[in-house]
Amino acid sequence: MLQIYNTLSRSKQVFKPIVPGKVKMYVCGMTVYDFCHIGHARVMIVFDMVVRWLRASGYEVLYVRNITDIDDKIINRAIENGEPISVLTNRFIDAMHADSDELGLMHPDQEPRATDYIAQMQGMIGKLIENELAYQANDGDVNFAVRLLPRYGQLSGKTLDELNAGERVAVVDGKRDPLDFVLWKSAKSEEPADTRWKSPWGEGRPGWHIECSAMSCDLLGEHFDIHGGGADLQFPHHENEIAQSEGALYGKDRKDDDAPFVNYWMHNGHIRVNEEKMSKSLGNFFLIRDVLKSFDPEVLRFFMLKAHYRSPINYSDAQLEEARSGLARLYTALAQGPKAQAIQLYPNNPWAKRFADAMNDDFNTPEAIAVLFDLASEINRAQGEEKQLLANTLKALGATLNFLQRDPTAFLQAGSKDQDGLTPSQIEEQIAARAAAKQAKDFAKADLIRKTLLEQGIVLEDKPGGLTEWRRA
């Protein structure tokens, strides 16, 4: 039975979909004005894993992840580059898709762009004004009146008094309260024509928070199962999504028996780089495409899922090398079943049960991966048909996490992408020289060749029939 840690309740809860057997899930996607970094990679990999496990568990999943293609950062970058908004955003949407494909991730079922949902956003803003939860300030902006919604703060656990005490923003331009946030931004004269839309409140563009509320409600309904995103979005973005969505639907006071906007809120942890927060100013900002120049995409996925999705993780080259070594151990075991296939596993399979128990405990991938390592150890000890069956089981379980589906020899001989060691042809030459030395009974030379190769990170394994296989350590 699947349990999910619900940020809203601050506890693990048994997952009960609104419609039995079906799951509707929305994840906050990227703001497309630059290339995706490893923080984006974690969001993509984590919720790809969630969808894969839900589907492996028999659920029919509708997975929506939005694209923010209108935003202050986008406008500023387009002006800086001297190009239209759509040219900028389309370029980085294509780059995002290329990164995702390189990582071996599924595409969402729906990938709405904010600029295609302006009418829905305006409709929701209109409802909020009608429900007396929004107002137009004298600068033309339409703002949400936070203090008029008693339930505000339910996701973050912050009270209005606490928020007010920490707020240092002056009330300007007719904003009634520093806690109020913008729903519709009035257009400025210096901004390009492609950054504004007509509305009942004058030309302008949507605020960031209203975008996700409008897109998720339009595609998934006013009440759906799972909403995900990075921990940094919990407040204020997701808090504001709840306020807008429930405020538009129920007005100022949602009753206890009214359905909430979302049943389960999931947030993945932050990424730190060498124990520091990742930021451009610190020079520790890594793009996905740059990381993949040095490391295999499967290694990056494995690194991300070795940690629990809610835990912060520390990124470094050393950590990725450790992940590569761990993945190599699994592929080494898999190689012992040369015809390994991802067979169908039944619930009474003890390995499948242990794996499922881990995944059903709030998607506990570290424990699930530990099951894979235990299984690999059993493969190393097994013989004959049992070895083959266990290898099949390993490949099948790995498939649910998008691991271990490649030819083991190809993975093991690849090593790091930027590895400066011996080429495959050079290694084969040394193996041939070692075989010749053994045939000439010059065992000292044969041992020296093996030792020298090992010092260069190449492990030799002698097989029956005089065959020698190799892999990178």
Encode pLDDT of 257-272 as tens digits: 999 999 999 999 999 9
Closest CA to 249 of 151, 347, 155: 151
Across the chain, mean pLDDT equals 90
Residue 144 confidence (pLDDT) above 80: yes
Per-residue confidence (pLDDT) for residue 444, from 0 to 100: 79
Residue 173 confidence (pLDDT) above 70: no
Per-residue confidence (pLDDT) for residue 260, from 0 to 100: 95
How many CB atoms lie under 10 A from the CB of residue 421?
14
Q: Are 466 and 439 in contact (CB under 8 A)?
A: no
Per-residue confidence (pLDDT) for residue 342, from 0 to 100: 65
Per-residue confidence (pLDDT) for residue 466, from 0 to 100: 63
Query: What is the mean pLDDT of the segment spanning 101-109?
Result: 97
Residue type, 60: E
Measuring CA to CA, how many Å separate 385 from each of 329, 332, 376, 390?
A: 21, 17, 15, 9
- What would the pLDDT profile of 310-341 be if each residue is shown by its tens digit? 999 999 999 999 999 999 999 999 988 777 67
**What is the rounded CA–CA span in Å between residue 62 and residue 196?**
31
Vertex 420: Cα angle to 416 and 423 (nearest 5): 90
Closest CA to 408 of 335, 329, 326, 325: 335
Give 51's pLDDT tier (boundaries 50, 70, 90). very high
pTM over 0.85: yes
Dihedral pair phi/psi, residue 227, rounded to 5° = -125, 130
Residue percentage of the chain with pLDDT more than 90: 71
Residue 462 confidence (pLDDT) above 90: no
Give 432's pLDDT tier (boundaries 50, 70, 90). low
Residue of 341 and 247 predicted with greater confidence: 247
Contacts for 210 with CB less than 8 Å, ≥ 6 apart: 121, 124, 125, 183, 184, 244
Per-residue confidence (pLDDT) for residue 62, from 0 to 100: 98
Dihedral pair phi/psi, residue 408, rounded to 5° = -55, -40
How many CB atoms lie under 10 A from the CB of residue 188?
13
- What would the pLDDT profile of 374-430 be if each residue is shown by its tens digit? 999 999 999 988 999 999 999 999 999 999 999 998 898 886 655 556 667 677 677
Rg over alpha carbons for the chain, rounded to the nearest Å, is: 27
Give the torsion sign (CA, 352, 355, 358, 364).
Answer: negative
Residue of 422 and 187 predicted with greater confidence: 187
Residue reference for tokens 């389309």: 90
Contacts for 454 with CB less than 8 Å, ≥ 6 apart: 460, 473
Give 453's pLDDT tier (boundaries 50, 70, 90). confident
Query: What is the mean pLDDT of the segment spanning 172-189?
Result: 87
- What would the pLDDT profile of 6-40 be if each residue is shown by its tens digit? 999 999 999 999 999 999 999 999 999 999 999 99
Residue type, 200: P
